[in-house]
A and B are shown apart, each in its own frame.
Chain A
Amino acid sequence: EPEVTQTPSHQVTQMGQEVILRCVPISNHLYFYWYRQILGQKVEFLVSFYNNEISEKSEIFDDQFSVERPDGSNFTLKIRSTKLEDSAMYFCASTPEVREQYFGPGTRLTVT
């Protein structure tokens, strides 16, 4: 059964550094999403992406964040200058149309 994959599973970075989190959505899916979950808190929506552009973003998704689908298979989330409060699990999700979403296993980002 096809699944969403994410790399790396764990990323440790220093404050102020740039990080890129990578996701490979399910191949025939058209809608892509990033969510994050700070330890002990709710899963929060960050951004949705369709037809090579952002379709919706949350207040969390400020100028430090960007998304890209560089090659038709990968979907990346870049944080330009990480802050301590960016430490969280980041989940990628995809869906063929706007219905049930399929989530990846997540990347644990630790900012020190």
Chain B
Amino acid sequence: DAKTTQPTSMDCAEGRAANLPCNHSTISGNEYVYWYRQIHSQGPQYIIHGLKNNETNEMASLIITEDRKSSTLILPHATLRDTAVYYCIVYAGGTSYGKLTFGQGTILTVHP
């Protein structure tokens, strides 16, 4: 699975958009970009995933560059409850029985 690079930490004001970048320059054509988050010591929570196209759901938007070498997770109106560690994970899904390889992620702190 391709390696990802994320900033160690980011801050965001409550109510503003949080834009979390991820670099995955070695991504292969069949690999998806997945985002999870972990609030304090809870279990990781799935947010969104995509292959080529931008995606949006009730939690977030995912913007993937045309060359697929990087992506941005957007939380449109961050709240204090969005303070968490955000993980960008690239993997090919069906070829690996779903093993997720977590990095250190980005610690997002949302300030009042």
Contacts and interface: CB of A to CB of B under 8 A. Distances in A.
Interface of A: 4, 31, 33, 35, 37, 42-45, 48, 50, 55-56, 58, 89, 91, 93, 95, 97-106, 108
Nearest to A89: B41
B100 A45 contact: yes
A44 B98 contact: no
A108 B87 CA distance: 21
B98 A31 contact: yes
B99 interface: yes
B21 interface: no
Per DSSP, chain B at the interface is: loop
Nearest to B102: A43
B80 to A, nearest CB: 20
B102 A42 contact: yes
A49 to B, nearest CB: 9
A105 B42 CA distance: 5
A106 B41 contact: yes
A48 B98 contact: yes
A31 B100 contact: no
Contacts of A31: 97-98
Given A42-B102, A42-B103, A100-B34, A48 B43 contact: no
